[in-house]
């Protein structure tokens, strides 16, 4: 397995892009972490899951991977931790099962939110609000990269604790 410093360098080399990018929060950034570049690499994705698993408490019933970047991470974390994974849509389908969460029930379960990159936490807030509305218990969030753009603090104000594998500054 890649060491944490090796993984940091590999993610930085694979995923850090320079240019002008508009983030989900509406903020314009001069660099962007294209998470699909490490999530689509089987060696990097497995190393991410193994290193994240070492940082997790076991105080949850299921992983809740957010669409779309949190899903591959939650899937591999499920394999490494042997905890079930749920796949959380941005909005409930309006056909078929009409579910927000696929893969199991959320009511009464302690869910660990899994995200790829956190900036302001907006996507997490949207998902948590909906999941709590369906009876889920959520207090923890895990991500690969914390962009250090207020997400951790915003999540804390909502009673959520963020655990990041890396911060933006740690990636160089």
What CATH fold (topology level) applies to the domain 4-171?
Rossmann fold (3.40.50)
All structural domains of the chain with their residue ranges: 4-171
CB-CB contact of 146 with 152 (8 Å): yes
Q: What is the pTM of this model?
A: 0.93
| 106 cis-preceded (ω within 30 degrees of 0) | no
| pLDDT at residue number 112 | 98
pLDDT in tens, 149-158: 999 999 999 9
Nearest to 48, CA basis, from 91, 80, 85, 25: 80
On the CB side of 142, CA atoms within 13 Å amount to 26
Mean pLDDT in the chain? 94
Number of CB atoms found within 10 A of residue 145's CB? 25
Q: How many CA atoms lie within 13 A of 100 on its CB side?
A: 17
Q: What percent of the chain has pLDDT over 90?
A: 85
The pair of three-digit structure tokens given for residue 1, joined into one six-digit string: 């397995």
Question: b or e along 104-133 (b: 16 or more beta carbons within 10 Å of the residue's beta carbon)?
Answer: eebeebebbbbbbbbbbbebbeebbebbee
Question: What integer pLDDT is reported at residue 1 of this predicted model?
Answer: 84
Q: Say whether 56 sits in a helix, a strand or coil.
A: coil
**Tens digits of residue pLDDT in 85-127:** 999 999 887 887 778 999 999 999 999 999 999 999 999 999 9
The DSSP secondary structure of 96-137, one letter per residue, reads TT--SEESS--TT-EEEEEEEEESS-HHHHHHHHHHHHTT-E
């Amino acid at each position: 397995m890649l060491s944490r410093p090796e993984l940091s360098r590999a993610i930085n080399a694979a995923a850090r892009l320079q240019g002008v990018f508009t983030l989900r929060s509406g903020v314009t950034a001069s660099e962007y972490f294209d998470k699909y570049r490490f999530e689509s690499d089987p060696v990097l994705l497995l190393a991410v899951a193994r290193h994240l698993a070492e940082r997790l408490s076991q105080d949850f019933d299921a992983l809740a991977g957010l669409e779309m970047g949190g899903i591959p991470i939650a899937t591999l974390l499920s394999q490494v931790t042997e905890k079930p994974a749920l796949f959380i849509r941005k909005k409930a389908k309006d056909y078929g099962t009409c579910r927000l969460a696929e893969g199991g029930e959320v009511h009464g379960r302690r869910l660990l939110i899994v995200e790829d990159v956190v900036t302001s936490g907006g996507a997490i807030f949207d998902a948590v609000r909906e999941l709590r509305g369906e009876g889920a218990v959520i207090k923890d969030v895990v991500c690969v990269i914390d962009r250090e753009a207020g997400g951790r603090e915003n999540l804390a104000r909502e009673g959520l604790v963020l655990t990041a594998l890396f911060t933006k500054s740690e990636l160089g």
